[in-house]
Chain A
Amino acid sequence: MGMRKVAVVGAGMTKFVRRALETPKELSWEAAHMALQSCEMTMDDIDGVCFGTAPDTFDGVHMNGEYCSDGSGGWRKPFMRSYVGGGTGVFVPIQGWYHVASGLFDVVLVVAEEKMSSYYPHAQAAFMTIFDHTTERPLRPNLLWIFAMEMNRYMTTYGLSKEDIAQVSVLHKRNAADHPCALLGDANITLQDVLNSETLAWPVQRYDVSPVSDGAVAIVLAAEHVAKRITDKPVWIEGVGWHLDTSYWTNRDLAYPRYVEYAARMAYDMAGIKEPRKEINIAEPYDPFDYKALHHLEGLQLADRGKACELYSSGTASRTGNMPVCPSGGLLGVGNPIAAAGLMKIAELFWQLRGEAGARQVPGHPLRGLAQAWGDLMQVGTVVIMGR
């Protein structure tokens, strides 16, 4: 297709916290500054800026991307803000990728920020606006309903128990205990802790859900000739994919995320991956809820339908297993500042594949990783495959 090779050459992030003192602009700058410093670049080296932030509703600021542009470095640059809901964090590096792959730019700064705490008293109520205003909102829905109902359908279709699914939360929160930016890392959490937590919307309990968070992440993307000049450890973007399903979510098979499958197939084709279960060494599926990690692993073709929980019970998904899942700690452990959470997964793969992940390092010099996010009206899948 005549595309240039694109590498991730730098990354930075802030702590993920429930409520940050810093504004969205300040969080964006902190992450972007760290990413630039990590590859010894300055804004003079940056040809364009791609910025991701999820609903304007959280901030109560219309055109939030433009509002934050001084913090994200967008001023006096070609600046693009993308927004595909929860999928944004893995879509914004795709947007950066095509600007470099196409030959338009040599170096792009990618920044994703979210500040959910401003919406008062709880960001939950902002999500009301994702439901159809005429056919659904009069029923006074809350966001948990949609997940609870999808989880119930998933469990019932495949005969899974709450224990099967709670293992995900346990592993991710334990992994997060080794992440210096994590909000909910807990090295000692047990299956019983998850199963005994407060029931919010059965089958969803408190520890099945990721926390509302504030935070920012940034990466630097560079074309091959630049990447090779500035680092001897570039991490290449080998494949990207994204796909949208129907916005009529009650007209969809809730047990299987077809849109994630199509996004994954697009990315696997581009990366030349024929057998993803053998060729993907680290998986970072989107895990705002524990069952979603399983749902997505199946959509990604990394597990048979209804069998993803076996990756956890067999130890395959553990950090020392054959295919570690969310060695970062994921959204369940590190936190879920929407757009930033997806880009955190990309940053994690960057550090893991370079062997720089410290206490979280997956052993055995992993070659290739996959990050995935999901969002919009529960209907978009975004996938990036990275390798060294």
Chain B
Amino acid sequence: MTAKIKEFPGTSLSEQDFKEGKVLFNFDKLNGIFAWDTGIGIGTYLAALKNGVILGSHCSTCRKTVVPPRTVCEWCYRPMDQYVPLKDTGTVNTFSLCYVTWDVKRIKEPLIPAVIEIDGASPLHGIMHMLGEVDPKDVKIGMRVQAVWKPAAERQGSINDILYFKPLKED
């Protein structure tokens, strides 16, 4: 059937057609302002970040410690038993060297987002954060890292209370 059709529908436009006014368009902006409750699990997590602690939660049925903490265990669907303070060190599970911002602007110095497996959480359980104080060329999967915190007085109970993770020098 595709072989029999010579001309398919669909008309291609270019950005130029907009700029030159060859097609009509309606430009509009949506107003999207939100205030999100942090909830119980993440609220407790953020309160702990304000105190300089990365918090996980533990399910004694599944013997899993997850981060960020939550109120329900996904595996057994029972309530999580307890919050557990984790260390602020971890291992780089994976990372990227990103040369574009969220709104697709080009940048020279790459951002280094990473998934960091937090010490004290179950294997492969990590959080997304940034790496800093490191030459992009030296970042490796498996690298040990430690959180760099904002000064206590400036913390707001936000994931940004951790500025980034930096390489950990272990003896």
Contact = CB atoms under 8 A, between A and B. Distances in A.
A296 B95 CA distance: 21
Nearest to B74: A246
A309 B3 CA distance: 30
A306 to B, nearest CB: 15
A203 B96 contact: yes
Given A133-B36, A135-B127, A142-B104, A254 B115 contact: yes
A379 to B, nearest CB: 11
A80 interface: no
A60 interface: yes
A27 interface: yes
Given A125-B103, A250-B126, A139 B42 contact: no
A19 B13 CA distance: 5
Contact of A139 (B10, B14, B113): B113
B141 interface: yes
Contacts of B74: 246, 248
Interface string A30-53: 110010001000000000000000
B82 to A, nearest CB: 18
Interface string A137-161: 0111110110011101100100000
A50 B127 CA distance: 37
B3 A134 contact: no
A339 to B, nearest CB: 15
Interface residues of B, number: 55
A15 B8 contact: yes
Given A20-B13, A136-B128, A153 B97 contact: no
Contacts of B159: 134-136, 138-139
A260 interface: no
B165 to A, nearest CB: 12
A55 to B, nearest CB: 13
Interface string A108-146: 000000000000111011001000011110111110110
Nearest to A149: B94
Contacts of B130: 139
Interface string A4-41: 00000011011111111110000100110010001000
B96 A22 contact: no
Contacts of A148: 96, 98, 113
A140 B102 CA distance: 6
A16 B103 CA distance: 24
Interface in B93-150: 93-104, 110, 113-115, 124-130, 141
Given A139-B128, A215-B10, A202 B141 contact: no
A153 B94 contact: yes
Contact-residue size bin, chain A (C-beta under 8 Å from the other chain): 35 or more
A365 interface: no
A358 interface: yes
Interface string A206-221: 0000000011000000
Contacts of A18: 12, 14
B66 interface: yes
A228 interface: no
Contact of A142 (B15, B38, B101, B160): B101
A354 B4 CA distance: 13
B33 interface: no
Contact of B96 (A30, A181, A201, A252): A201
A230 interface: no
B93 to A, nearest CB: 7
Contacts of A254: 93-94, 115
A188 B125 CA distance: 43
Nearest to B39: A134
B9 interface: yes
B13 A144 contact: no
Contact of B113 (A141, A204, A357, A358): A141
Given A14-B9, A139-B128, A144 B68 contact: no
A124 B101 CA distance: 10
24 contacts: A11-B1, A13-B8, A14-B9, A22-B10, A128-B102, A134-B159, A135-B128, A135-B159, A142-B98, A142-B102, A145-B113, A150-B94, A152-B95, A180-B8, A201-B99, A201-B100, A202-B98, A202-B99, A250-B125, A251-B67, A252-B124, A354-B1, A356-B4, A360-B2
Given A15-B9, A17-B11, A152-B96, 4 more contacts: A125-B104, A141-B102, A145-B128, A149-B95
